[in-house]
A and B are shown apart, each in its own frame.
Chain A
Amino acid sequence: MKANVKPVEMLYEASQTTLGLIEGAVPKHEMQILKSFFRCMESNLRIKLEQIAEGKPIIGHHFAFPSEVFSCFDAVPICVEAISYLFSALFTTGSEKYYDLANSWGHPYHSCTSQKGMIGMALEHNFIDFDVIAIPSAPCDNTIASYQFFSEHLNIPTIVADMPYYHNSRGYEYYSNELESMIQELSTILNQEPNYERLRQSIIYSNHAVENLAEINNLRRSIPCPVESVFNPIGSAVQNFFSGQVEKEIFYNEVLEIARERVRTKKAWRETDERVRSFWPYMSVFFDITFCEWLDRKLGMPIVTDIFNYFFFGPIKNIESLDTKGMIDGLAYQSMEYPMVRQSESFASVFFEDAVNLAHQFSADCAIFTAHIGCKQSASMIQLMREILKEEVGIPMLTIEMDIGDKRMTSLETIKKKVLEFTQTLL
């Protein structure tokens, strides 16, 4: 029997349509990054669907998981959170129907919409037939609590790699062991022997992506910033959806070329001048990517960086010659230092230091913090962050309470109003 993958099919169609639309209607040199993203998305989803049709098993995974690991197997990885949020970004009514279903079934209204979307899809029987789910025990209570729906209610075999709180050698080693046993468990469930050469290839893709992103970030430090703000929300999607896959390398490569060209020719790529450089210490808005266009074109206020689009680690070294243990150690280290995981599943000092460094390095004029209703782990840190950025960098921070995946909590209009009000006090 063919596996149910309706949500993936819907996303594939939506990517095709969106790509067709923007390639047809938008002049060649505009929205290049968005176009690149949809090209990668379209091809990634097409291949995934083909593989699923061939009967390959599907692995559901969490966004904070090193999905390179799955390349050990002949399987199709799909990120749970990315599905919920791609729905909310690409469809007019987003994931709202699914959120409501999950809520009416008892999922707390304040629990994160990044998993709520998928919970709703399952309740509507419009789900993905995951053969297995693989997740870390981080970076938040939502991850810990919501995934128990999949394991306990849907009875999907769920393997958890327990992530310790300490980002030190003891912590990395523990997590590496966890990943190792996870590979063994996956091997049993999927009835496949792990192929570590494929893992190596996947890490090579990721290494290139890591290097390219570092280079992109170097260029983004230039004034004016050569990269559109939309890079931020879609960059997050790229990391979660294409991790360990060739599309991630391709996307960052293309963005890098675009950025290089813009810096080299000093050609303005948008008619509005850069007036305020905004740094988003947390996430950006996911439910409507046109918001970023508005920031760039209407306000002249590019997002110069956020924590999702900055890697605080380099590529895994000597990958050609590393043994299996070495590769897994490398992935364990990287994934504990992943964007968001590093700041969320650890002491707040790391979060504050990162924010201060980034604000300095990217010459930010202000900060905007999206207080996402799901993220309780950051809820207690917002005021401290405000104070620290003020004291140590001298920039003001605006906080906007919202649901990054549901426009009904704080509408785009309200968000824009708050941002506009904020810029008026800055200029």
Chain B
Amino acid sequence: MSATNFLDFSSLLRNAHLTEWIQNHKKVIGFYCSSIPEEIIHAAGMLPYRIRATNNLNYNLADSLLSQFNCSYVKSTLNLIMEDKYNFLNGIVIANTCDHVRRMYDIYKHKLNKNSQNPIALFFLSLPHLFDENGWLWVREELKLFQEQLSRNLNIEIDERKIQETNHLYKRNQELIRKIMEFRILPEPKLNGVDFLKISIANSSVRKEYANEKLEQLIMYYQQDEGPKIENVRARLMLLGSSIDNPAFIQILEHHGAIVVSDLLCTSERWGLKDPLWHYDNWNSEDPYYPIIQRIYGDCFCPRIMNGHSLRMNLIKQRIKEAKIDGIILQRLEFCDLHGCENMLIQQEMEEINGTPILSIDREYLLGDTGRLRTRVEAFLERLERS
């Protein structure tokens, strides 16, 4: 198997690794957001799987439960769930990350599980909307409670040693992703935005020991002298906003010769961020939960954190410099209020400082009329070239 085969894992819900895992009667736990402590799921000997909407074709089933004001990404995942495409899940973990996602818990509880012959285990985490000491301590407790529930519900022992081991594995995984992010921002990038998203998606659908092996192979592949490189990049773009799990969307942005060299999306680059976004100093770093709290909470780049906007802005600005960004694509899925309002602020602040040019896009999860989008991107690239 060549190193790049790993990328293909993003185009299927059931990848080869997952299939084998299930065949060995091992458990899979689904989750929605980056703020879920997958480490604990992993330490419990299960496969944490980030739910996505890959290959969804319509909303026929999901629309029978949701309203026209729901985010079409969550709607698409529900459609797949209702089509039974996620029947490999033994449980699901949801948090109060956004209004659309958190209600999936209720939909499972009041509908999907009720109608199913194999109801799955449901877990919930309440996460703070502020960076502060109280929040940190609360998350610490939530992790403990989650671990207990997971053990009780699925009858699995999770000890501290396992958590520590998992932390090492996850740390390594983040380092590897970070390394690949470096290849992205080279003057002649080794990979484009489409491929990076594919890697990120694949990485969130397998156990991390497997992922690390694959990522190492990929790094070797990109590192070779005769390895791939992208020449004559027309513009270096940064992509921000609502969740994206569909490489085809980035493909449209890159269609005219631009490359998305950085994205800061929750489904992608946020996994490999270098410095902590926010940090609670008075905590014992020997605590096995420490790196987990830092990852899911301290590094939560999401606009759901109400006092985190300036920290997020700083990171964006820093990344613009590092990745030598020419233009920003700000996109919002319809009905995503969190990113919608955040995009508004980013755009205004960028304009105020006469910063990087921005193209704002509102979109639906299902890519319909890509022609119009392509035309807008082309016009934006021309604008970048003129400036």
Contacts and interface: CB of A to CB of B under 8 A. Distances in A.
B340 A162 contact: no
B107 interface: yes
B272 interface: no
Given A108-B341, A110-B334, A164-B126, A141 B98 contact: yes
A401 B335 CA distance: 14
A184 interface: no
Given A144-B303, A153-B348, A349-B109, A171 B69 contact: no
A146 B341 CA distance: 6
A398 interface: no
A137 B348 contact: no
B1 interface: no
Interface stretch (B43-51, B128-136, B192-200, B365-373): B128-136
A153 B349 CA distance: 8
B67 A174 contact: no
Contacts of A170: 141
Contacts of A411: none
B67 A371 contact: yes
Given A108-B344, A152-B345, A348-B106, A144 B67 contact: no
Interface stretch (A14-22, A259-267, A290-298, A377-385): A377-385
B100 A160 contact: no
Contacts of A141: 98-99, 304, 337-338
Contacts, number: 160
Range, interface on chain B: 35 or more
A312 interface: no
Given A142-B337, A165-B124, A177-B134, A347 B106 contact: yes
A149 B110 contact: no
A160 B130 contact: yes
Given A162-B130, A377-B99, A401 B68 contact: yes
Contacts of B344: 105-108, 149
Interface in A150-164: 151-153, 160, 162-164
A116 B129 CA distance: 21
Interface string A170-213: 11001001100100000000000000000000000000000000
Given A110-B334, A380-B70, A384-B65, A137 B129 contact: yes
B126 A379 contact: no
A352 interface: yes
A256 B310 CA distance: 49
Contacts of B109: 347-349
Interface in B302-347: 303-304, 306-307, 309-310, 332, 334-338, 340-345, 347
Given A141-B99, A376-B335, A380-B100, A148 B306 contact: yes
A105 B347 CA distance: 10
Interface string A338-352: 000000010111001
Nearest to B65: A383
Interface in B69-103: 69-71, 96, 98-100, 102-103
B307 to A, nearest CB: 7
Considering residues A149, A164, A349, A399, which has the most beta carbons from chain B within 10 angstroms of its beta carbon? Answer: A164
A374 B128 CA distance: 22
Contacts of A110: 69, 334-335, 337, 340
Considering residues B99, B141, B340, which has the most beta carbons from chain A within 10 angstroms of its beta carbon? Answer: B99
Contact of A164 (B69, B138, B303): B138
Contact of A165 (B96, B304, B345): B96
Contacts of B71: 376
Contacts of A3: none
Range, interface on chain A: 35 or more
A379 B336 CA distance: 12
Nearest to B67: A379
Contacts of B255: none
A181 B135 CA distance: 13
Interface string A343-377: 00101110010000000000000000001011111
Interface in A84-116: 105-108, 110-112
A5 B60 CA distance: 49
Interface string A106-139: 1110111000000000000000000000000100
B106 A349 contact: yes
Given A111-B341, A141-B337, A160-B129, A380 B348 contact: no
B273 interface: no
A147 interface: yes
A144 B66 CA distance: 22
B337 A145 contact: yes
Contacts of B102: 165, 377
A194 B16 CA distance: 63
Interface in B135-169: 135, 138, 141
B101 to A, nearest CB: 10
Given A108-B362, A165-B96, 20 more contacts: A106-B343, A110-B340, A145-B340, A151-B307, A153-B348, A160-B130, A160-B306, A162-B130, A347-B109, A371-B67, A377-B102, A379-B67, A379-B69, A379-B99, A379-B335, A380-B104, A381-B103, A388-B110, A401-B67, A401-B68
Minimum-distance CB pairs A-B, first 8: A108-B340, A106-B344, A145-B341, A165-B126, A137-B129, A348-B106, A380-B103, A376-B99
25 contacts: A107-B341, A140-B337, A141-B337, A144-B129, A145-B303, A147-B306, A148-B303, A148-B306, A151-B307, A152-B309, A152-B310, A160-B306, A162-B130, A163-B129, A164-B126, A164-B128, A166-B126, A347-B105, A347-B106, A376-B71, A376-B337, A379-B70, A383-B64, A384-B111, A401-B67
